[in-house]
Amino acid sequence: MATAQTITRARPRAFTGLLPHRLVRWRRPLWWQEVVIILVGYWLYSLGRNAVPEQRSIALRHGRSIQHLQDDLHLNFELSFNHFVARHEWLAQILDYYYATLHFIVTPGVMIWLFVRRAPIYRGARTALVATTLIGLVGFYLYPTAPPRLLPQYGYIDTVIRFDTWGSLSGHNFYSHGNQFAAMPSLHIAWAVWCGYSVYVCSRVPWVRALGLLYPVATLTVIVGSANHFILDAVGGVLVLMLGYGVQFLLSGHGAYVAPVDTPDP
């Protein structure tokens, strides 16, 4: 595994991955190829996420089941925190804008940083993220889940609607742009943990590494305070990310933050 001081090079091993060597050997990534991959991948993600049948009654039932399970596990502090956020409009606005924007700013930013500064491990990290996202889409299809904000019987407050956060795109008009029952697993958390871990592992600057660790914590605070996800949705996001790293290992035969064995010396 890579550290903040150096990028570890993979050693020859018995298991070399499922992909042919020519596909996993070292070659410097080309920016235009990566742009195409990312754009096509995001298009497929958006298409797949919105194409999943919303199955309202099933999703609401799943949401209630998660609420009941969290009550049994005494993970029921979300409601009080959501109410605290809803009592402070300035805080709710910050959380809502964070939820809608940083997810699509920080993740590409970390990918660009890895591409430019950590080219030997870029492909492995990118493959893990893509695999995570695809597995998440399968989760949306198999287990449609209503977020807490769509379960008002438990007292959750939708801060976007209450404070008209998005102006002309506020309320249900904003929510109509995507599948509202794609809550389990939380890809917000999966992507945030991927970003934070990538920065922590690959950065040499202590305060940047600290920010990497804080980012998923802040994201968890946001998704809970805005009633967009349950705690267990976040747990599902972490599990999906672990599966994504596992897929990357199976394909390449080495960890996501380990450079290919034939990487040239710097």
Percent of the chain at pLDDT > 70 equals 79
The pLDDT value given to residue 171: 47
Query: How many angstroms separate the CA atoms of 187 and 197, rounded?
Result: 15
pLDDT at 26 over 70: no
pLDDT digits (tens, 9 = 90+) for 51-69: 666 678 889 999 999 999 9
pLDDT digits (tens, 9 = 90+) for 68-102: 999 998 887 889 999 999 999 999 999 999 998 88
171 — alpha (psi -120 to 50), left (phi > 0) or beta? left
Quote the pTM value: 0.86
Query: How many angstroms separate the CA atoms of 205 and 185, rounded?
Result: 32
Residue 99: both structure tokens together: 């939820």
The pLDDT value given to residue 167: 43
